Chains A and B, each alone.
Chain A
Amino acid sequence: MDKFRMIFQFLQSNQESFMSGICGIMALASAQMYSAFDFNCPCLPRYNLAYGLGILLVPPLILFLLGFVLNNNVSMLAEEWRRPQGQRGKDPAVLRYMFCSMAQRAMIAPVVWVSVTLLDGKCIICAFCTAVPVETLGNASHPSLSQGEMERILARIPCKEIYDGQELITNEVATRYLRCISQALGWCFVLLMTMLAFLVRSLRPCFTQAAFLKSRYWSHYIDIERKLFDETCTEHARSFAKVCIQQFFEAMSTDLAAAHCHQPREASTDAGETTRKLLGITDQGTMNVALKSWHRCKPPLHLHAPTLPSHNSWAGEGQPPVHPLVPRKEVAAYYSRV
């Protein structure tokens, strides 16, 4: 118990390094996904732009949403947001803090994807190859072509095997130009994001430190309270189940004794632990009946004192199971909540 408390404390107090580790893993996963992805430019005039920009922008959106989905604290935030006020006031600052910290972590993978995509260059080359300035970069002597024809030729720049416009503009020149622009955009994006992260992190102590300490404490508190409540409920459910089952076996053994006109065998003080644990069932037939009864007619969810008569008449086969007298309310709700 002490060991778990130590680990708990360590992770909690070093949450910073724990979370940094998770962010690092997400960033690596995003970079790996990009390198494993087989980029395949269509090399057709209007499709290029759609494909290139799609690969640049759609996976980051998916990764961002995935970052929220995989974060365990999202349900905690939603619960705290939607709960009725009751006797405990709601602090919007705490909700904002929780949302901000989750959003920051979810932003890492998309930013890494966009940076890696721009620094690699394939997307931008595919998307903007029809916009290359042929007048400045192209060869001076080329027959004047219609707009559509020029676009069709330029669209094939990313596909070196089928490119047929070497007289118009060489493939290498166009590719180098576009890649240079893509990489410049990539590095500017990286610099911008790093500066943003730096500002967000360093302006906080300058302006809102007290409010920050409060929000952090209460958001930890909400998390711990939820976990402890779940633990307490689990403990309670265990005890409930244990007592319920004990009462089931006891009721059965008294019913059995009544049916066979035997006195209930008193567990004598020196009979030993094992005899007591047999709960009055000592032969095959009785055990089979007990198991069948457990399946056909489970006891009601109502623990009672031993003097009250049980409602579980199972004695003998062929008897229809009696419905428990406890009114059945919201059984589905019970099972879905806990």
Chain B
Amino acid sequence: MDRFRMIFQYFQSNSESVMNGICGLLALASVKMYTSFDFSCPCLPRYNMAYGLGIMFVPPIALFLCGLILNRQSLVMLEEWRRPQGRRKKDLAVIRYMCSSIMQRAMVAPVVWIIVTLLDGKCLICAFSGSVDPEKFAGFANTSQVQVQQLLAKVPCKDDELMRNNTSRKAVSRYLRCWSQVLGWSILLILIIAAFLARWLRPCFDQATLLQARHWSNYIDIEQKIFEETCCEHSRLFAHKCILHFFESMRQEIKLHSFSLRREGDGAEEEEDLLRGVTDQDQVNKLLKKWYYEKPPLNV
């Protein structure tokens, strides 16, 4: 029981680590989705760019929205933002802090997708194979404009009959993959440097406000959780009382209608209490029927 209480308290107080866990899971899910996705470039002139860039940017948007949905704190923040002021002032710094922490966590999975896409290279090869300069590559140099577009569009498809053993295709592919990987690594480096600087330089700016904002955002989160728990506990007690009243009123009714002698006996009191005066098949049926047709009012 002590262990349950500890786990309970852990989840209550450490919603931040729960959110970090969800963020990590989503990042892993993002990588898994990319590897299980069957990338299939259409190898047609106008479709390539749309497909390649679509695969690079549409799933990150969906993952970002998923990150916002799965994060409990985004609801808490919205509620705090929209609540009427009442007798408690609203602190915009707290709301800003919550918003920025939510955004940071939600951005992880989309960024992971984009970086994995770039490091893999297939998307960029598909999207930009039609945009390379054909003069740089021997196989495509001396062909007509329309034909060169058609051929370049087929570069991502290794098994196409025209491209099967074409060395220029491999050259274009390597060139684009190189660019793609350079872009991927640069973005990764820039993001990590930005994160590093943000974390290191933060204490230099406004540490006190930050501590306050963090404390109060934690407080709002815990307050809401405890309110929900208290409501659950309250509704349980309310229901218990309501049912007891109902059985009691049935007992009174039975006493009025029947003149049965009260049983006297030692040790029978406990059973008597549990039976609550309902000792007959008819009485039980009546009780159950009344429970369905006329539930007691919500007033204990």
A172 contacts which chain B residues (CB < 8 A)? 157, 159-160
Interface residue B291 (Cβ < 8 Å from any Cβ of A): yes
- Give the chain B neighbours of A195 by CB distance below 8 A: 65
Q: How far is the CB of A308 from chain B (nearest CB, A)?
A: 8
Asked if residues B278 and A236 are in contact (CB atoms below 8 Å), the reply is yes
Q: Main secondary structure on chain B at its contact with chain A?
A: helix
In contact, B40 and A121 (Cβ under 8 angstroms): yes
Structural contact, B65 and A239, CB atoms closer than 8 A: no
A-B complex: 8 closest residue pairs judged by Cβ atoms = A301-B281, A86-B294, A180-B42, A225-B239, A303-B279, A239-B274, A205-B78, A221-B235
Interface extent on A, as a size class? 35 or more
Does A220 belong to the interface (CB within 8 Å)? Answer: yes
- Size of B's binding interface in residues, CB under 8 A: 79
Is the C-beta of B212 less than 8 angstroms from some C-beta in chain A?
Answer: no
* A260 close to B (CB within 8 Å): no
- Identify which of B38, B70, B74, B280 contacts A302 (C-beta below 8 A): B280
Determine if A180 and B275 form an interchain contact, defined as CB atoms under 8 angstroms apart.
no
Q: Which residues of B contact A86 (CB under 8 A)?
A: 293-295
Cβ contacts under 8 Å, B65 to chain A: 191, 194-195, 197-198
State how many angstroms separate the Cβ of A34 from the closest Cβ of chain B.
12
Q: Which of A195-228 contact B (CB under 8 A)?
A: 195, 197-198, 201-202, 205-206, 209, 217, 220-221, 224-225, 228
Contact of A217 among B50, B55, B74, B231 (CB under 8 A): B231
Q: Is B90 located at the chain interface by the 8 A CB criterion?
A: no
- List 6 A-B pairs, Cβ < 8 Å: A6-B8, A20-B70, A179-B40, A184-B50, A187-B55, A228-B243
The answer on a CB contact under 8 Å between A194 and B157 is: no
B157, A6: Cβ atoms under 8 Å? no
Q: Shortest CB–CB separation between residue B213 and chain A, in angstroms?
A: 20
Is there contact, CB below 8 Å, between A232 and B243? Answer: yes
The residue from A184, A232, A236 contacting B51, defined by CB atoms under 8 A apart? A184
Contact between B278 and A217, CB atoms less than 8 A apart: no
Smallest Cβ-Cβ distance to A302: which chain B residue: B280
B interface residues with partner A (beta carbon < 8 Å)? 1, 4-5, 7-8, 11, 18, 37-38, 40-44, 47, 50-51, 54-55, 58-59, 61-62, 65-66, 68-70, 72, 74-75, 78-79, 81-83, 157, 159-161, 225, 228-229, 231-233, 235-236, 238-240, 242-243, 247, 260-263, 265, 271, 274-276, 278-282, 284-285, 288, 291-298
CA distance A198 to B1 in the complex (A): 38
- The reply to whether A6 and B66 form a contact with Cβ atoms under 8 Å apart is no
Interface residues of A (CB under 8 A from B): 2-3, 6-7, 9-10, 12-14, 16-17, 20, 83-84, 86-88, 119-121, 137, 170, 172-173, 176-177, 179-180, 183-184, 187-188, 190-191, 194-195, 197-198, 201-202, 205-206, 209, 217, 220-221, 224-225, 228-229, 232-233, 235-236, 238-240, 242-243, 300-307, 326, 329-331, 333-334, 337-338
Q: In the complex, which residues of chain B have a beta carbon less than 8 angstroms from the beta carbon of A183?
A: 40, 51, 55
Determine whether the beta carbon of B229 is less than 8 Å from that of A13.
yes
Report yes or no: A180 in contact with B69, Cβ–Cβ below 8 A: no
Does A329 lie within 8 Å of B4, measured CB to CB? no
Known contacts A12-B232, A240-B284, A331-B281; 12 further A-B pairs (Cβ under 8 A): A84-B292, A87-B296, A187-B58, A194-B61, A194-B66, A198-B65, A209-B79, A220-B231, A221-B238, A238-B274, A300-B281, A305-B263
The residues of B that contact A333 with a CB separation of less than 8 Å are 285
Other-chain contact of A236, B44, B74, B229, B275 (Cβ < 8 Å): B275
Give the residue of A197, A236, A329 whose beta carbon is less than 8 angstroms from that of B276.
A236
A10 — which chain B residues lie within 8 A by C-beta?
4, 7-8, 11
Cβ contacts under 8 Å, B157 to chain A: 172, 176
